[in-house]
Chain A
Amino acid sequence: MELKRKFLSNKNILLALFALIVLAYPYIPLEGYYVSLGGWSFHMGIINNNYTLHVVVLIMLYMLLSMGLNIIPGYTGLLDLGFVGFYGIGAYTSALLTVNLAAAAFPLSLLGNFWVILPLAALNGALFGVLLGAPTLRLTGDYFAIVTFGFSELVILIVLNESWLTNGPIGVRGIAAPAIGDYVFTSERAFYYLILFMLILVIIFIKRIANSKIGRAWFAIRENEIAAEAVGINIIKYKVVAFAISASIGAVGGAFFARWMRFVSPDMFKFWESVLILCMIILGGLGSIKGVLAGAFIMTALAEILRAVLPYAEELIRPVANVELVGARYAVFGIVLIIMMRFKPEGLFPETRVIAEMHPSTDAILDAQTDTFWDKRRT
């Protein structure tokens, strides 16, 4: 009886409902309808077509990527501006292996299999993470950020110029879709379940690692490097581990992206992507899993909404000013972030640790004034 009551608590029922909606989402038939308003007709409601499903897959891809990036600024407190480099490395690893080896003879064709590529891309990302991290993680603050920024630009330059391997600016086309046995992932529905599965795995993995000894070492480094050294944490080692894990999650996201889009080009991995993902985790709350997921959801959805709304706005202000507003969504992101920094600098769903830091209670001051602490000490 007690067990039953515990199990059927409101929270669990809500969670189960949420899980059910997420699992069944691609099959929920929601029809849109049109509303006429003074000459324009608006499309209202959520329609469950390929487009919305595509956006939802994109949202989950960005959730996965922000989970990966979050390890660096969120857990170890370093500013990483080059995350898109690892994303690109993963995407090109996946694209090139698929295009070149999927149709090869048996043992080699395995390397073109999506399920083999995923761990390979993760390893490749980790390898580059270590190669970049080991020599540069001694740098602090802005210097480190500049090096990572340089790294992501370097990845693009190599992809652009080594056209014998990467096909240069034209990109790699005709990447086969992933498959399980004879079943080929062709519909957005299939990709929805694939990315959902990958996202859940990544969330579980990060949750576990954040609560482990490694996670605690990261938090200690984020807060106070000298104290972390003084208690015997090998700072460089734990930073490199963080960098490798973050890079491999980015590469896994890239590997999925290449097989989902079935086309990659250097344009897709510009610096802007790094900034966008960084904005997502800052908006949601650095270091908080819930916040990072929310941030990715809001920013990706907002981008799509703005894409649809801005042409209308352009038309509206045409009599007054003839300006192009389509590119203005970047400005909107900027405004959103400025408002956040002013009113809720810790993000929408911050970690409790960060709340405590940003809004210190007055208890500590009161304690310092009264002598209760010293009376309590046993003599």
Chain B
Amino acid sequence: MLTLEDIHTYYGNLHALQGISLSVNEGEIVCLLGANGAGKTTTLMSICAINRVKKGKISYLGRDITKMATDRIVKTGISHVPEGRRIFRELTIHENLMMGAFTRKDKKGVQKDLKRMYDHFPVLYDRRQQYGGTLSGGEQQILAIARGLMLRPKLMLFDEPSLGLAPKIIAQVFDIIKEINQSGTAVLLVEQNANAALKLAHRGYVMESGKIVLEDSSYNLLHNEQVKKAYLGAE
């Protein structure tokens, strides 16, 4: 459903993405691995046009979205859960969730989804009038994911959802991502935590300084000597 063909992105003179090609199919979880600075976040930012692509083509559900503005891309159903959570600290939980549905016009559907989020994450309901900044790290990640779900997305981009969370909480967050995928949403997951991410994903890509160096099923990647050494910790 999402295809990137030979994507080049620059930060000023820095050639951050040097010809990325990848694809996400319907109902799939695809993970993007790589060291710091490999360009994983930039890839996600390029997909939703927060960073402009210089060369290459991004198509989504048969449409060319390379030149589309971010808000239009979001409207087509790509939800981006950015790195470091980036919830709105001075908006209440309720307002945060409503911001997730900013581009949606169907008020009834939004209310239904809001109820669904509260049912699914009771802690958000208990604190709906509190400011986002008062939540703990794990709760903020949940809020960021729930905000992303309020779009009723067909594709969700997760950027380091496990960043700065306790191991027990990471497991819970990954469970939630799995649930989201099982309900029919395709997922593109960027992770440092390669082990957990590969166990969750169907396929994976490995990035190194702006290029994709490896592409395989997650089972093969988990047992690939090179990947084991570089990202999983040698045994």
Give chain A's interface residues, CB within 8 Å of chain B.
Answer: 213, 216-217, 219-220, 222-224, 226-234, 353-354, 356-357, 360-361, 363-365, 367-368, 371, 373-374, 376-378
Contact = CB atoms under 8 A, between A and B. Distances in A.
Contacts of A378: 119-120, 122
Contacts of A224: 86-89
B183 interface: no
Given A216-B95, A219-B91, A230-B81, 10 more contacts: A219-B95, A229-B50, A232-B151, A356-B133, A357-B89, A357-B133, A371-B168, A373-B138, A377-B122, A378-B122
A361 B138 contact: no
A232 B90 contact: no
A374 B138 contact: yes
A219 B172 CA distance: 30
A314 to B, nearest CB: 45
Nearest to B166: A368
Contacts of B95: 216, 219
Nearest to B132: A223
Contacts of B139: 367, 373
B120 A226 contact: no
Contact of B136 (A213, A216, A357, A367): A367
Contacts, number: 113
A222 B119 CA distance: 30
Contacts of B86: 224, 226-227, 230
A357 B90 contact: yes
Given A232-B103, A368-B136, A227 B88 contact: yes
A368 B122 CA distance: 16
Contacts of B102: 213, 216-217, 220, 231-233
B27 interface: no
A230 B131 contact: no
Contacts of B151: 231-232
Q: Sorted from nearest, which 4 A-B pairs have the closest CB atoms?
A: A232-B74, A368-B136, A227-B86, A232-B103
Nearest to B76: A232
Contact of B88 (A223, A364, A371): A223
A379 to B, nearest CB: 9
A328 B203 CA distance: 71
Nearest to B172: A374
A231 B98 CA distance: 10
How many interface residues does chain B have, given as a range?
35 or more
Given A216-B98, A374-B172, A376-B122, A230 B80 contact: yes
A227 B82 contact: yes
Given A220-B91, A231-B74, A234-B69, A367 B100 contact: no
A228 B123 CA distance: 23
A372 to B, nearest CB: 8
Contact of B123 (A217, A354, A373): A373
A378 B120 CA distance: 7
B232 to A, nearest CB: 26
Nearest to A356: B131
B169 interface: yes
A120 B89 CA distance: 39
A53 to B, nearest CB: 39
Interface string B144-185: 000100010000000000000000110010000000000000
Contacts of B26: none
Contacts of A219: 88, 90-91, 95
A364 B100 CA distance: 23
A363 B135 CA distance: 8
B75 interface: yes
Contact of A226 (B82, B135, B138): B82
B107 to A, nearest CB: 12
B19 interface: no
29 contacts: A216-B95, A219-B95, A220-B88, A220-B99, A220-B102, A222-B90, A224-B86, A226-B86, A227-B82, A228-B99, A229-B50, A229-B70, A230-B86, A231-B74, A231-B103, A233-B102, A234-B71, A353-B91, A354-B90, A357-B90, A360-B134, A364-B134, A364-B135, A367-B139, A373-B123, A373-B138, A376-B122, A376-B123, A377-B123
